[in-house]
A = this chain, B = another copy of it.
Amino acid sequence: MSVTDDMREIARRAKSASRALAVMPTQARNDCLLAMANALEANSSRIEAANALDMADGEKNGLSRAMLDRLKLDAKRVKSMANGLREVAALPDPVGRKLDQRTRPNGLKLEKISTPIGVIVIIYESRPNVTADAASLCFKSANATILRGGKEALNSNKAIAEIMIEAAKACLPSFPVDAIQVVPTADREAIPALLSLTEYVDLCMPRGGEGLIRAVAECSKVPVIKHYKGVCHVYVDSEADLNMAEKIIVNAKVQRPGVCNAMECLIVNDKVAKDFLPRIASTLTAAKVELRVDDQAFGLIGNNAMVKKATPQDWSTEYLDLICSVKTVDSAEAAENHINTYGSGHSDTIVTSNEKTARQFMAKVDSATVYWNASTRFTDGGEFGMGAEIGISTDKIGARGPMGLEELTTYKWLGYGTGQIRG
């Protein structure tokens, strides 16, 4: 069979499994999740053996030390995966929530109810823990999952999924084994083949670098929920508490620079730039942050060896590193325009004590999450109290911002009648 035929068969079986999941009771899903968690721990050595094959291949193929570290599974990491599944089991069921209800004058009762989406394709890179993580969130929300991890982790991913399925089947004999499937080939053609199957696949969520995500979005015929990158801003207004601004900026830039909700660009109102820029430049450069700044800022802080002039590309760059661009503006409005032009719609902050300015900024900045006097680093399912996170979306159709279990559901309308017909 061709890879196209294989993918069609995988997707067809996933859709069929999704029909069974749609009527699987909450308790049955939670019992399966707990059984899966126990099985992962009990089979840790089997997972580690599969992972050892991937590690050996990875070393042979010259994977970097950082990639090998991400790929590596040991008993501690397997235990952490298992505990993740237990946490998911303990969360409320996102399916069956009543989102709206109304009774029409003719007596027809309408309910808008959250339902599973159906079949979700998850495409991701090297970390094999994503296999357990994503599959468990999709299963909890009664969706069938097709997992396409990195080719370097294929043995690990297959072992994890097999153990989860075996455990669920032992726990619940009617468990549909195609509810969780790992694409068994590293063939690159598998992705466009899968993502053309609009009759079976309902959603694709790519997780990884911008290149991977753009390639997926480019070829997909099914809806994709994604974020390309996080070019997050902190704007220090003319009426900012500068001590608060400094703390927020240091946290947003330095605490964990390699993540999507870290600040990449600092915007400073020129009414406070003369006071504030030398001070924040000194703090940030002491923390080893290189600054790439506009001409006005360069006039104020250019005497520091860690400060360089920004190029036009800097304004839309996600550094994921100890680098920060710095822009001066003459108004909050100019900051808003800069963010809407060069940002990525992820997370942006205003620091100000003026409520009117803050509310205007929050309304005008067209990003998934906009903060007033708080670090951009809070954009995260756990920090939002969602209990789990499968990703962050900068899209506007479907989920936006951090995605937990509720964001893995859609809805349907149910109409309860007593013989109503339309006049």
Contact = CB atoms under 8 A, between A and B. Distances in A.
Contacts of A137: none
A373 B418 contact: yes
A102 interface: yes
Nearest to A105: B385
Interface string A393-415: 00111101110000000111111
A373 B419 contact: yes
B420 A374 contact: yes
Interface residues of A, number: 65
B104 A396 contact: no
A80 to B, nearest CB: 20
A410 B400 contact: yes
A395 B108 CA distance: 24
Interface stretch (A161-169, A268-276, A318-326, A362-370): A362-370
A389 interface: no
Contacts of A402: 413
A385 B104 contact: yes
A225 B248 CA distance: 39
Given A202-B396, A370-B414, A397-B117, A419 B364 contact: no
Interface string A83-114: 00000000000000000001010001010000
Interface in A33-83: none
A399 to B, nearest CB: 9
A360 B23 contact: yes
A371 B415 contact: yes
A422 B383 contact: yes
B396 A203 contact: yes
A396 B217 CA distance: 18
B422 A251 contact: yes
Interface in A298-345: 340
A100 B252 CA distance: 25
Copies in the complex: 2
Most B-side CB within 10 Å, residue of A248, A385, A412: A412
Given A23-B363, A366-B118, A396-B117, A377 B421 contact: yes
A377 B422 contact: yes
Contacts of A250: 421
Contacts of A397: 117, 202-203, 223, 225, 397-398, 410
B241 A371 contact: no
A244 interface: yes
Given A19-B340, A395-B223, A412 B368 contact: yes
A340 to B, nearest CB: 7
A235 interface: no
Nearest to A23: B363
A107 to B, nearest CB: 9
A203 B252 CA distance: 32
A366 B422 contact: no
A298 to B, nearest CB: 28
B362 A414 contact: yes
Interface of A: 19, 22-23, 102, 104, 108, 110, 117-118, 202-203, 217-218, 221, 223, 225, 241, 244, 247-248, 250-252, 255, 340, 360, 362-364, 366-375, 377-379, 383-385, 395-398, 400-402, 410-422
Given A110-B385, A374-B421, 7 more contacts: A22-B364, A23-B360, A104-B383, A108-B374, A373-B417, A396-B410, A401-B412
23 contacts: A19-B340, A22-B363, A117-B396, A202-B396, A202-B397, A217-B221, A223-B396, A223-B397, A225-B397, A248-B421, A369-B412, A370-B413, A370-B414, A371-B417, A372-B415, A373-B419, A374-B416, A374-B418, A378-B420, A397-B397, A398-B398, A400-B413, A402-B413
